Chains A and B, each alone.
Chain A
Amino acid sequence: DQQVKQNSPSLSVQEGRISILNCDYTNSMFDYFLWYKKYPAEGPTFLISISSIKDKNEDGRFTVFLNKSAKHLSLHIVPSQPGDSAVYFCAASDSGTYKYIFGTGTRLKVLA
């Protein structure tokens, strides 16, 4: 039972345009969400997070949007750069537990 789903395994975007990566979850107890970025042969690195008390969090070119009623979050990257090409994982956590549930990842390719 996949509690966190990233339904797009891959995405290609032209440099300078917006990249939108999507994530859906099923567990209404999740109240904290994170995005990680992973380059080949490296561990994931933290990118941005959002608490369920917010619907938007912005950090430079990266913005995460949370729609609790739809159990959906998205990561927007504007403008996209070739160095953003990586696999992006979303993760969800219930603050009452220690567990993080990860999605299967979306491979983003930014074309120069």
Chain B
Amino acid sequence: GAGVSQSPSNKVTEKGKDVELRCDPISGHTALYWYRQSLGQGLEFLIYFQGNSAPDKSGLPSDRFSAERTGGSVSTLTIQRTQQEDSAVYLCASRHDDYEQYFGPGTRLTVT
């Protein structure tokens, strides 16, 4: 059906607050990725899901970051006690069996 969707598209939060970012992958895609793009930087890998499990969480910047995926579909990236350096565009992508990833439009997070 539709492509990858992410919500919210924009989020402004105060330093120290928690935020939740949501990703709805393409139906049937088993793999789901989270990336972060800070200003002037490339795409930084955060975490990968195969089904509901995350074999590698080593890309998460700190223990304030966590992610889960339920039902092999929707994923939520949670950032606790946000810091200004967390400000970035958070991108989600999903993939089926081939190599191509399909990206969502991203969530722009601004921590003030």
Contacts and interface: CB of A to CB of B under 8 A. Distances in A.
Interface residues of A, number: 23
Given A100-B45, A103-B42, A34 B100 contact: yes
Nearest to A91: B43
Contact of A102 (B43, B99, B106): B43
B45 A101 contact: yes
Contact of B50 (A36, A41, A98, A100): A98
Nearest to A102: B43
Interface residues of B, number: 24
28 contacts: A4-B42, A6-B42, A36-B103, A41-B105, A41-B106, A42-B105, A43-B4, A43-B93, A43-B104, A44-B43, A44-B91, A44-B103, A46-B102, A49-B99, A49-B100, A91-B43, A98-B31, A98-B50, A99-B56, A100-B33, A100-B101, A102-B35, A102-B43, A102-B44, A104-B40, A104-B41, A104-B42, A105-B42
Main secondary structure of the interface of A (DSSP, over half): strand
Contacts of A102: 35, 42-45
A98 B4 contact: no
A32 B91 contact: no
Interface of A: 4, 6, 32, 34, 36, 41-46, 49, 89, 91, 93, 98-105
A45 B103 contact: yes
Given A41-B106, A43-B103, 12 more contacts: A6-B42, A32-B99, A43-B4, A43-B104, A43-B106, A44-B43, A91-B43, A98-B55, A100-B45, A102-B44, A104-B41, A105-B42
A95 B42 CA distance: 21
A98 B45 CA distance: 11
Interface of B: 4, 31, 33, 35, 40-45, 48, 50, 55-56, 91, 93, 99-106
Nearest to B42: A104
Contacts of B40: 104
